[in-house]
């Protein structure tokens, strides 16, 4: 465990680079870290993937004692601890998943001052005299992760979290930081009040995740829509959320039938099965997990490339948090929402069953806001961020509305047909039946009701089922039609429909979005790094998976996708260049560097790239030269005769590597050889040069200097 380190900025930056492999801090990270090191409290709101963890992990290495991190889920703790250990940090977790022997071992390490960070569940922290135990421990800081769980206004309130205010009273001089990615204004104030953070500096870095592309499609045969979306994303990891357990299992089974590696996850499945599914997903052995909202909060998998909502979420907070599980590595990711009016009706029925009128009012408000986001015909990101009180200065350019603005059309005549049909069927039927009548469907129910004789039967046969469904939904959104949810969702006209029916008003509507538009090609994983070698990236992914499997850890614990992308772009061939890649710290360089350098070198050699056509033995000599060794030291390290080491250096020079002979041989010898070359010319053969030099100058030394000339 670290003692107190110098808190100069240079040392903090050095820790960031050496331990975590990042070259610079993100906005506000430095201020937060320096404040905590100095003993000040903080409230931190950062988007998922924005670097919240570093805000307490770095201070933990620069303050005396152990940092206690309160975390809500066991899986989240394990992922964080695995990642820290991979970076050489002394970390552990303490929760109900540990057996008695393991728990005793963790406590022994805690009391022996061997830990930099200890992740703990709120239940363990607050029970069994654990707080009393902490009085004998040097505590660096307290970090409350997922702090929105503290508030009853939050979408994921937990009663154990609400008791964490005791930390401020029991340990008044220990700095405390609360961190969350999802909190509206009311929730933020509640967090500050409950945790006693009134004097804390607040850092609000914003909610925007610009790397996520938001898309909403109107539901029509949703499984077909999902299958089309996934068909272009084979090999990518993603999550599909559905509201019911039954639907989750049905979707997962259908996806497996299409050949996808998919599994279901919900609270009704056995714990062992859920754990197996989660581990397989983390290790890239599953491509898709289909889940209820029970899955995801504990997932720290950075390379989730897409999140699909098969059903409408109940609130924007949940939608934001769930979509935020995509693209945590900062690379491009996608969020697809399939939205249907029936989803909203189902959610409303559940909410209306809530007995507490105030809670019912809040939930209905949140649902209506979510519906507003789904039905928006303006920039999705503007609507999303506005909900959290953040203003976007201009349209995002990375949502379906911005990338492909919905075409408008004069819907006046079609609207009259639809409104008239609703009236003709007696305002006693739902959307599906009205659409069937408009399209002239030959169905037994229509004949039984005599609706084939209506004047509106078949007047809309020129349009598809989805086109009429979209139009009627928009009539509902604009207030011309209501859906009586309590009465089987029958359609009824409102007073606003009269002037439209009489032709006294014109109406412009948006053409429906059923299929993905303007997105024939998925976003490329460039993370702003520019073009990279995709074939090499795939080979590095395979290497990462093999190394991860050998160690029993998820692949991203070895390196994240963003790190592999940079490797595939820069193609580092020595340790110095590899260490310059974001995400490669000193510990990982020592642990994995040789394997990745070998893979990159072999790939470049096989593809005939100049300057890198070297077999592993040649590369090892190059690395020794890069370390600043002279010829004798290189030969010694490599276990080679001097002549063979010199031969390999000559081959490196022939391949275009910048080998400088003056670094390899004694100064006097170099000067003598250089003088002979000056007199006789670089074209002189080796025998002529050799005859002009003293006997103590070796042939291989002459050859090295001559080759450089």
* Beta-strand runs (E) in 194-236: 201-204, 212-218
Of 332, 335, 396, whose CA–CA distance to 526 is shortest? 332
Query: Please, which residues bridge with residue 481 across strands?
Result: 493
Do 656 and 569 fall into the same domain?
no
DSSP 459: T
The H or E element that residue 492 is part of is strand 490-493
Residue identified by tokens 């889940």 is 291
Of 80, 83, 211, whose CA–CA distance to 145 is shortest? 80
Do 93 and 149 fall into the same domain?
yes
Helix axes 245-257, 222-231, angle to 10 degrees: 50
Do 123 and 196 fall into the same domain?
yes
Is residue 568 included in any domain, yes or no?
yes
Do 500 and 580 fall into the same domain?
no
Distance CA(611)–CA(597), nearest Å, equals 14
Is residue 688 included in any domain, yes or no?
yes
Tokens of 425: 């069927």
- What count of other Cβ atoms lies within 10 Å of the Cβ of residue 13? 16
The H or E element that residue 387 is part of is helix 380-387
Task: Give the CATH number of the domain where residue 549 resides.
Answer: 1.10.150.80
Do 32 and 147 fall into the same domain?
yes
Distance CA(18)–CA(363), nearest Å, equals 47
Of 396, 314, 382, whose CA–CA distance to 354 is shortest? 314
Task: Give the CATH number of the domain where residue 110 resides.
Answer: 3.40.50.300
Distance CA(367)–CA(359), nearest Å, equals 12
Cβ-in-10-Å burial (0-12, 13-18, 19+) of 322 comes to: buried
Tokens of 708: 């450089």
The angle subtended at Cα 619 by Cα 614 and Cα 622, nearest 5°, is 120
Distance CA(61)–CA(39), nearest Å, equals 14
Distance CA(659)–CA(145), nearest Å, equals 51
Is residue 132 included in any domain, yes or no?
yes
Helices (H), 412-510: 412-424, 431-439, 444-449, 465-477, 497-501
Q: In whole angstroms, how far apart are CA 203 and each of 38, 52, 273?
A: 16, 11, 40
DSSP 325: T
Domain that holds residue 505: 408-510
Which of 365, 385, 403 terminates a domain? The answer is 403
Q: In sequence order, what are the residues at sequence separation of 6 or more whose Cβ sits closer than 8 angstroms to the Cβ of residue 567?
A: 536, 537, 540, 559, 578, 581, 596, 600
Are 49 and 328 a contacting pair, CB within 8 Å?
A: yes
Residue 488: per-residue pLDDT: 61
Do 299 and 324 fall into the same domain?
yes
Q: How many domains does the chain have?
A: 5
Is residue 441 included in any domain, yes or no?
yes
SS3 for 240?
strand
Burial 94-131 (b: 16+ CB within 10 A, else e): bbeebeeeeeeebbebbeeeebbbbbbbbebbbeeeee
Tokens of 562: 């963003």
Per run of 10 residues, the mean pLDDT along the chain (length 709 residues) is 44 89 88 94 85 92 94 80 91 87 91 93 85 90 89 67 88 93 80 90 87 91 92 89 92 94 91 87 92 69 93 89 88 92 79 80 79 80 81 85 85 94 93 93 92 94 86 79 68 92 88 54 58 87 92 89 90 86 90 88 68 64 79 87 87 76 86 84 79 84 82
Residue 519: per-residue pLDDT: 44
Task: Give the CATH number of the domain where residue 506 resides.
Answer: 1.10.10.10
Torsion angle defined by CA atoms of residues 621, 627, 631 and 632, in that order, rounded to the nearest 10 degrees: -100
Is residue 362 included in any domain, yes or no?
yes
- What count of other Cβ atoms lies within 10 Å of the Cβ of residue 443? 13
Is residue 517 included in any domain, yes or no?
no
Q: In sequence order, what are the residues at sequence separation of 6 or more whose Cβ sits closer than 8 angstroms to the Cβ of residue 490?
A: 427, 428, 429, 430, 483, 484
Is residue 2 included in any domain, yes or no?
no
Is residue 167 included in any domain, yes or no?
yes
Residue 346: per-residue pLDDT: 77
Q: State the DSSP string of 529-584.
A: S----HHHHHHHHHHHHHHHHHHTS-HHHH--HHHHHHHHHH---SHHHHHTSTT-
Distance CA(597)–CA(575), nearest Å, equals 8
Do 391 and 433 fall into the same domain?
no
Do 287 and 353 fall into the same domain?
yes
Distance CA(297)–CA(519), nearest Å, equals 29
Distance CA(33)–CA(494), nearest Å, equals 58
Which of 613, 645, 673 terminates a domain? The answer is 613
Which of 156, 187, 204 terminates a domain? The answer is 204
Are 106 and 94 a contacting pair, CB within 8 Å?
A: yes
Do 378 and 461 fall into the same domain?
no
Do 180 and 310 fall into the same domain?
no
Residue 163: per-residue pLDDT: 87
Query: Please, which residues bridge with residue 178 across strands?
Result: 43, 144
> C-alpha 531: how far from its chain's center?
21
User: Three-state SS string across 638-649, please?
Assistant: HCCCHHHHHHHH
pTM of model > 0.75: no
Q: In whole angstroms, how far apart are CA 495 and each of 236, 479, 481, 500, 501?
A: 50, 9, 9, 10, 10
Are 294 and 282 a contacting pair, CB within 8 Å?
A: no
Distance CA(309)–CA(530), nearest Å, equals 30
The angle subtended at Cα 121 by Cα 293 and Cα 188, nearest 5°, is 65
Do 416 and 399 fall into the same domain?
no
Residue 1: per-residue pLDDT: 52
Of 212, 574, 255, 556, whose CA–CA distance to 398 is shortest? 212
Q: In whole angstroms, how far apart are CA 91 and each of 37, 82, 114, 117?
A: 19, 8, 9, 5
Do 342 and 440 fall into the same domain?
no
124: left (phi over 0), alpha (psi -120 to 50) or beta: alpha
């Amino acid at each position: 465990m670290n003692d107190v380190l110098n808190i100069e900025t240079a040392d903090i930056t050095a820790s960031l680079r050496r331990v975590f492999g990042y070259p610079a801090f993100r906005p506000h990270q430095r201020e937060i870290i320096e404040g905590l090191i100095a003993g000040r409290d903080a409230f931190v709101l950062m988007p998922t993937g924005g670097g919240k963890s570093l805000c307490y992990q770095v201070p933990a290495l620069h303050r005396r004692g152990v940092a206690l991190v309160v975390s809500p889920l066991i899986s989240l703790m394990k992922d964080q601890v695995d990642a820290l250990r991979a970076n050489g940090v002394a970390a552990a977790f303490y929760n109900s998943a540990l057996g008695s022997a393991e728990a005793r071992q963790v406590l022994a390490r805690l009391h022996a001052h061997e830990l930099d960070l200890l992740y703990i569940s709120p239940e363990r922290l607050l029970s069994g005299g654990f707080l009393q135990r902490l009085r004998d421990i040097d505590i660096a800081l307290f970090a409350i992760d997922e702090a929105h769980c503290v508030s009853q206004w939050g979408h994921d309130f937990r009663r154990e979290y609400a008791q964490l205010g005791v930390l401020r009273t029991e340990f008044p001089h220990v700095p405390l930081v609360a961190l969350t990615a999802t909190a509206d204004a009311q929730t933020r104030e509640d967090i500050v009040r409950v945790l006693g953070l009134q004097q804390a500096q607040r850092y609000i870095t914003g909610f925007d995740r610009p790397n996520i592309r938001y898309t909403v499609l109107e539901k029509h045969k949703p499984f077909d829509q999902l299958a089309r979306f996934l068909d272009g994303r084979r090999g990518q990891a993603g999550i599909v959320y559905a509201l019911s357990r039954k639907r989750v299992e049905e979707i997962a089974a259908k996806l497996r039938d299409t050949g996808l590696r998919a599994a279901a996850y919900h609270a009704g499945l056995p714990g062992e099965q859920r754990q197996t599914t989660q581990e397989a997903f983390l290790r890239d052995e599953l491509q898709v997990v289909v889940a209820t909202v029970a899955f995801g909060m504990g997932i720290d998998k950075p390379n989730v490339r897409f999140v699909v909502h098969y059903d409408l979420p109940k609130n924007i907070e949940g939608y934001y948090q769930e979509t935020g599980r995509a693209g945590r590595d900062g690379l491009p990711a996608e969020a697809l929402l399939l939205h249907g009016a029936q989803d909203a009706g189902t959610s409303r029925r559940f909410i209306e069953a809530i007995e507490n009128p105030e809670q019912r009012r809040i939930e209905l408000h949140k649902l209506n806001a979510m519906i507003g986001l789904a039905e928006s015909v303006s920039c999705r990101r503007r609507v999303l961020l506005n909900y959290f009180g953040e203003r976007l200065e201009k349209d995002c350019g990375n949502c379906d509305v911005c990338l492909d603005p919905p075409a408008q059309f004069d819907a006046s005549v079609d609207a009259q047909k639809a409104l008239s049909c609703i009236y003709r069927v007696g305002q006693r039927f739902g959307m599906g039946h009205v659409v069937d009548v408009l399209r002239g469907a030959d169905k037994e129910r229509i004949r039984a009701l005599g609706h084939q004789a209506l004047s509106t039967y078949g007047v809309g046969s020129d349009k598809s089922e989805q086109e009429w469904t979209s139009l009627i939904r928009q009539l509902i959104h604009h207030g011309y039609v209501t859906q009586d949810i309590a009465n089987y969702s029958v359609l009824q006209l409102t007073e606003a429909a009269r002037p439209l029916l009489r032709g006294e008003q014109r109406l412009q509507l948006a053409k429906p979005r059923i299929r993905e538009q303007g997105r024939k090609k998925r976003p490329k994983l460039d993370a702003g790094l520019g073009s990279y070698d995709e074939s090499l990236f795939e080979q590095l992914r395979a290497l990462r998976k093999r190394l991860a499997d050998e160690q029993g850890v998820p692949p991203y614990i070895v390196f994240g996708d963003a790190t592999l992308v940079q490797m595939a772009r820069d193609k580092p061939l020595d340790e110095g260049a590899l260490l310059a890649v974001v995400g490669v710290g000193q510990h990982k360089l020592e642990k994995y560097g040789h394997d990745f350098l070998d893979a990159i070198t072999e790939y470049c050699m096989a593809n005939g790239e100049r300057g890198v056509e070297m077999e592993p033995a040649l590369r090892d000599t190059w690395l020794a030269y890069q370390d600043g060794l002279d010829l004798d030291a290189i030969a010694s390290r490599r276990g080679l005769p001097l002549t063979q080491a010199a031969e390999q250096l000559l081959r490196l020079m022939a391949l275009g590597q910048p080998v400088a002979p003056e670094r390899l041989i004694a100064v006097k010898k170099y000067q003598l050889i250089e003088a002979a070359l000056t007199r006789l010319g670089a074209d002189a053969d080796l025998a002529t040069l050799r005859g002009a030099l003293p006997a103590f100058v070796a042939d291989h030394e002459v050859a090295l200097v001559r080759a450089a000339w």
